[in-house]
């Protein structure tokens, strides 16, 4: 049986699938050629990440297809309900990349409170001639320890983010209409485990009390954070979005940065991805990464292994 990993898969995943007799193809087929390619090669399993769209045209016109797999959490690029209605298996890997995304959130947070996003732009330009001026400009940083992190969306990634926050001495609050209560265990290197219990609060209460905000929600029809939400945030709050583009109103974000309502933002995803707005890319108070939340070697190995395990279970 043939599997097309159109957006790639780790060598671990390939090895596990080939050991069970699957043929794995990692060619990247253009979106408009996918139907023909799947049919000509009798592909039974199509694996994607965020780049490839799996819509009704593929589902309806590829009779050999039995399974669609998403290497990651969100499946907004797949017509999941329609695929299941047509009898296809639809799988994803919700737990495999949680820690990687959470660590990227804190890369943005640590960089934000110490101005690394801006210092790394200006030091190569002026570090030799304006060292003292830059030192003064970036001398007013703050610590994360003792501050409050507000997590909007408390699924696996939100909880993984909370664990890091707790580990460095932050207070954590969260808002999630679907998870009223949560208990988190923070594991340490020596086997110790410390448990914390949480209750969801309203989004408004979170925004009013959080020093830093991290978003962990799926794609939405409307903004989660827009002008009204920025208005009720604490003065000088920081915000990170490593979830989905379009959950923050980027025009309102720029306004909030300009007025000082928000001190900095960290963005891994963008409203107009894969062509982020120049105003966002050039803004001196925004830390930027190109949608790399799950892009660690460890996460990709876990994703590959988890996909392979599910495929073997469902198709063998």
Q: What 3 state SS string does the chain have?
A: CEEEECCCCCHHHHHHHHHCCCEEECCCCCHHHHHHHHHHCCEEEEEECCCCCECHHHHHHCCCCCEEEECCCCCCCECHHHHHHCCCEEEECCCCCHHHHHHHHHHHHHHHHCCHHHHHHHHHHHCCCCHHHHHHHCCCCCCCCCCEEEEECCCHHHHHHHHHHHHCCCEEEEECCCCCEEEEEEECCCCCEEEEEEECCCHHHHHHHCCEEEECCCCCCCCCECHHHHHHCCCCEEEEECCCCCCECHHHHHHHHHHCCEEEEEECCCCCCCCCCHHHHCCCCEEECCCCCCCCHHHHHHHHHHHHHHHHHHHC
Whether residue 291 lies in the annotated active site: yes
**Of 103, 205, 273, 277, catalytic:** 273
- What spatial distance separates the first Cα and last Cα of the chain, rounded to whole Å? 9
Cα–Cα distance measured from residue 211 to residue 236, given in angstroms and rounded to the nearest whole number: 8
Nearest CA among 76, 42, 87, 78 for reference residue 57 = 78
CB 148 within 8 A of CB 170: yes
**Of 49, 70, 108, 291, catalytic:** 291
**Of 244, 250, 271, 306, catalytic:** 244
Q: Which two tokens stand for residue 215?
A: 């978003």
Residues labelled catalytic: 244, 273, 291
């Amino acid at each position: 049986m043939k599997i097309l990993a159109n957006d790639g898969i780790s060598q671990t995943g390939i090895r596990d699938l080939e050991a069970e007799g699957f043929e794995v193809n990692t060619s990247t087929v253009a979106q408009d050629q996918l139907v023909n390619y799947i049919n000509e090669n009798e592909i039974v399993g199509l694996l994607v990440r965020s780049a490839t769209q799996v819509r009704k045209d593929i589902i309806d016109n590829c009779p050999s297809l039995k399974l669609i797999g998403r290497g990651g959490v969100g499946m907004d690029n797949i017509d999941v309900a329609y695929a299941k209605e047509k009898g296809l298996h639809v799988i994803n890997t919700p737990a495999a990349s949680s820690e990687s995304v959470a660590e990227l959130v804190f890369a943005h947070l640590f960089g934000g409170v110490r101005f690394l996003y801006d210092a790394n732009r200006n030091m190569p330009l002026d570090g030799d001639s304006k060292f003292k001026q830059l030192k003064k400009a970036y001398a007013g940083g703050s610590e994360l320890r003792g501050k409050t992190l507000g997590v909007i969306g408390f699924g696996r990634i939100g909880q993984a983010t909370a664990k890091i926050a707790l580990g460095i001495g932050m207070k954590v609050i969260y808002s999630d209409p679907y998870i009223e209560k949560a208990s988190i265990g923070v594991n340490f290197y020596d086997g110790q485990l410390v448990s914390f219990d949480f209750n969801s609060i309203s989004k408004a209460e979170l925004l009013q009390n959080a020093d830093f905000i991290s978003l962990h929600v799926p794609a939405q029809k409307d903004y989660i954070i827009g002008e009204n939400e920025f208005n009720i945030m604490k003065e000088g709050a920081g915000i990170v979005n490593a979830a989905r583009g379009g959950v923050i109103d980027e025009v309102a974000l720029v306004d909030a940065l300009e007025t000082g309502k928000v001190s900095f933002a960290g963005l891994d995803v963008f409203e107009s991805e894969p062509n982020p707005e120049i105003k966002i890319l050039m803004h001196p108070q925004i830390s930027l990464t190109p949608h790399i939340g799950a892009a660690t070697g460890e996460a990709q190995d876990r994703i590959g292994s988890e996909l392979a395990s599910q495929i073997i279970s469902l198709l063998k």
